[in-house]
Amino acid sequence: MFSYRHAFHAGNHADVLKHTTLIALMKYLTQKDTALTVIDTHAGAGLYRLDGDYTETSGEAKDGVFRLFQKAEAPAGAPAAAATSVKKTKLAAPIVLCPALQAYVDILRGLNPQFAESGNPAHLKIYPGSPFIEQQFLSGRDKLKLFELHPTDYKSLSGNIEQLSVGRQVAVAREDGFEALKTFLPPPARRAMVLCDPSYEMKSDYGRVSVCMADALKRFATGTYVVWYPVIPRPEAHDLPRKLKTLAVKASRSWLNAVLTVKSSKLTTDEAGDVVRPGLPASGMFIINPPHTLKGELQLALPQMVALLGQDRNASFTLEHGG
C-alpha cells in the first residue's frame, strides 16, 4: 500500500485532461451566489516541482504539459518560438487554444511568473495539483475539504495550504477520503462538487469508487460528482465507467464521460527484444450532474488535446453523455 506518489505523474496527459475539466467545472460552479462546498477525496500534495527528482525521473510531464507547448500557440505576451528546451515539430501553424485549455495554461502562468513573462516552457517549474486549482476559484463563502492518506504527501499538502493563509476556508485531513465524504453530504448550502481521484494502486479502489458514488448520490442527489479513472486492460477499470453510468441513470441524473487516448495500448519490443509496456495510454473523466456548459467546452478541448498530446495514430477521444 502507498507506493503511489503523484509527483511521478504530475503534469502528464491524464493531469491535462483532469485539470482542464476541473478548471471548467470550478469556473462555472463558483459563478453563483450560493456557497459551494468542494470535497477532494484524494488530494495529493497540492503542488509539484516539474524540475524535481520525481517528475524528471518519470518524464511523464514531457508527454503531457510540456508536449502541449510544442504545438500550441505561445502563451499571451510570449515570443512564439520560446520553447527552447522542448523539441520542435514540423507543424506549420500553431494551434490556438480553446477557452478551456487556455484557462489551464493561465493557471500555470499564474503559478510560474517567469514562464508567464517568457512563455518558455523551460521556465515552467511548478505544477498545481487539484487542491490548488480548486482553491484559486473559491470566494469567501465557499469551503474546500481535502483528504490525503499518504503521510509524506499529507505533510506537503498541509504545508502548501498553510502558505496560502486562507484560514478555515480550506481544511486538510489525513483521512480516508472515501469514508470522509459521507460526513459532508449534504453540504450546508446544498451545493457541492466532489472530485474523486484515487491512485487505483489497489484493485479495491475501483469498487470503492462506485460504492462511494452510490452512497453520495443517495445522500445528496444534486451534487456534481467527478471521477478520474485510468483506461487500462483490467476488468475493474473497464467496468468502472459502465457502473457509474448505471448509477447515474438509476438516480435519473445527467452524466458525461470524456476519454482521452494518446497512444496505442499494445506492448512493443525494443531493439534488445525486451517487451516495452506503453505506460498509461488513456484516461477518462466521468461527471455526474455536469453543468450544462461542460459538454460544449469539452467538445472543443478534446480534439485539441488529441492534436496536442497524441503520440501515434491511435490518439483519439470520446465524449458520451446522457440524462
Dump strand ranges (E) for the chain. Answer: 37-40, 47-49, 126-128, 143-147, 170-173, 192-196, 224-231, 255-261, 268-269, 275-276, 282-288, 316-322
Q: How far is the CB of 161 from ligand SAM (least distance, A)?
A: 13
Q: Which of 193, 180, 244, 162 is nearest to 22 (CA)?
A: 193
Radius of gyration of the chain from its Cα atoms, rounded to whole angstroms: 19
Q: How far is the CB of 130 from ligand SAM (least distance, A)?
A: 3
Q: Does 143 bind ligand SAM (CB under 6 A)?
A: no
Q: Does 225 bind ligand SAM (CB under 6 A)?
A: no
Q: How far is the CB of 159 from ligand SAM (least distance, A)?
A: 15
Amino acid symbol at 123: H
Nearest residue (CB) to ligand SAM, 66 versus 178:
178
- From residue 112 to residue 141, the character string flagging contacts with ligand SAM as x (rule: CB under 6 A) and all else as - is -----------------xx-----------
Q: Does 11 bind ligand SAM (CB under 6 A)?
A: no
Q: Does 147 bind ligand SAM (CB under 6 A)?
A: yes
Nearest residue (CB) to ligand SAM, 18 versus 71:
18
Q: How far is CA 242 from CA 6, 236, 286, 317, in A?
A: 26, 10, 10, 17
Q: Does 148 bind ligand SAM (CB under 6 A)?
A: yes
DSSP-derived letter for residue 181 is G
- Is 33 one of the catalytic residues? no
Q: Does 153 bind ligand SAM (CB under 6 A)?
A: yes
**Active-site option among 197, 205, 239, 270:** 197
Amino acid symbol at 70: Q
- From residue 27 to residue 46, the character string flagging contacts with ligand SAM as x (rule: CB under 6 A) and all else as - is ---------------xxx--
CA–CA separation, 318 and 306 (whole Å): 11
Which 158-217 residues touch ligand SAM, going by CB under 6 A? 176-178, 197-199
Q: How far is the CB of 228 from ligand SAM (least distance, A)?
A: 7
Burial status of residue 84 (CB atoms within 10 A of its CB: 0-12, 13-18, 19 or more) = exposed
CA–CA separation, 304 and 80 (whole Å): 18
| CA pseudo-torsion sign 212, 214, 220, 221 | positive
Q: Active-site residues: which are they?
A: 197
Binding site for ligand SAM (CB under 6 A): 4, 6, 18, 42-44, 129-130, 147-150, 153, 176-178, 197-199
